[in-house]
Structure 1
Amino acid sequence: MIIFYDANCPLCTKEMRLLKEADKHNKIALEDINTDDFEQRFNHIKRQDALAFLHGQQDNGEMIYGLDVTFAAWQTVGRHKWLKVLQLPGIRFFADQGYKVFAKYRTTIAHSLCKSACGIK
């Protein structure tokens, strides 16, 4: 699995670091969408789209988005099994809506709430 994430987002970077620490079998590759050659290497993904919404690519090439990426990633490393609750029909809608708000304001949220925990200055 490949996760395309915003390394300029402290919350995103922290979660990816924790995810890789749990990835004992190296099943997840991380790609920073801010690298200069990102769109050349991954021409099927527009940087602006990836900045707006978390993108992931399954080993079979299938693209997944938002909370589905988070769920699949933690499932891949065998952690946070409770996240499956977010996949339940009644909860999924609200979780997806909450994620959309979070994704849009993640930088503001990070700077407001995560200064010491994420190492933001």
Structure 2
Amino acid sequence: MNTQLTVFYDGYCPLCLAEMNHLKKLNKEAKLNFVDIQEPSFSVVYPHLNWSALNARIHAQLPDGSLISGLDVTYLAWKLVGKGWVYAPLRWPIIRWFADLAYLGFARHRYTLSFWLTGKRRLQGPSSCDACQPNKGKTDE
């Protein structure tokens, strides 16, 4: 397998899901593996990962097992499918600081922003509750 990045994304978020579907279409060389953290099997397959941290912002795992998050994931994922130039400016010094701050705001309010932009609310599942969140409270990423 040629996987170079495993992307952990929120399948309940309409905008996040749209981006992942677009990446899947471009992933012709299978460099990306996609994992929806909302799937019931997530906590069984990835019990060592902190679900709450992954739900707070996008994360990805590199082949060496290390995790990256936020726009570093977005840039690398798009780079691996040949479109990194679109997001490259967001990783440039100075711009990076502002882009990361804006991304954190997006991640925190992604359901509201998704509704405003797509007219779709959270796609499936119960509203947030402690019992509904696998691995809630785990501390290591």
Scaled by the length of structure 1, the TM-score of the pair is 0.90
2:21 is aligned, of 17, 22, 30, to 17
Separation of aligned partners in 2, 1:80 and 1:92: 15
CA RMSD of aligned residues (A): 1.4
Counterpart of 2:51 in structure 1 is 47
Between 1:29-38 and 1:11-20, the stretch displaced more is 29-38
Higher helix fraction (1 or 2): 1
Q: Which has the larger radius of gyration?
A: 2
Deviations 1:84-104 (A, max 9, x none): 111111100000000000000
2:81 is aligned, of 77, 88, 97, to 77
* Alignment coverage as a number of residue pairs: 117
Counterpart of 2:116 in structure 1 is 112
Q: Output the amino acid matched with 2:9.
A: Y
Q: Is the 8 A contact 2:9 2:35 kept in 1?
A: yes
In percent, how many aligned pairs have the same letter? 38
Q: Is the 8 A contact 2:76 2:84 kept in 1?
A: no
Q: Is the 8 A contact 2:59 2:73 kept in 1?
A: yes
Separation of aligned partners in 1, 2:99 and 2:48: 26
Q: Is the 8 A contact 1:86 1:92 kept in 2?
A: yes
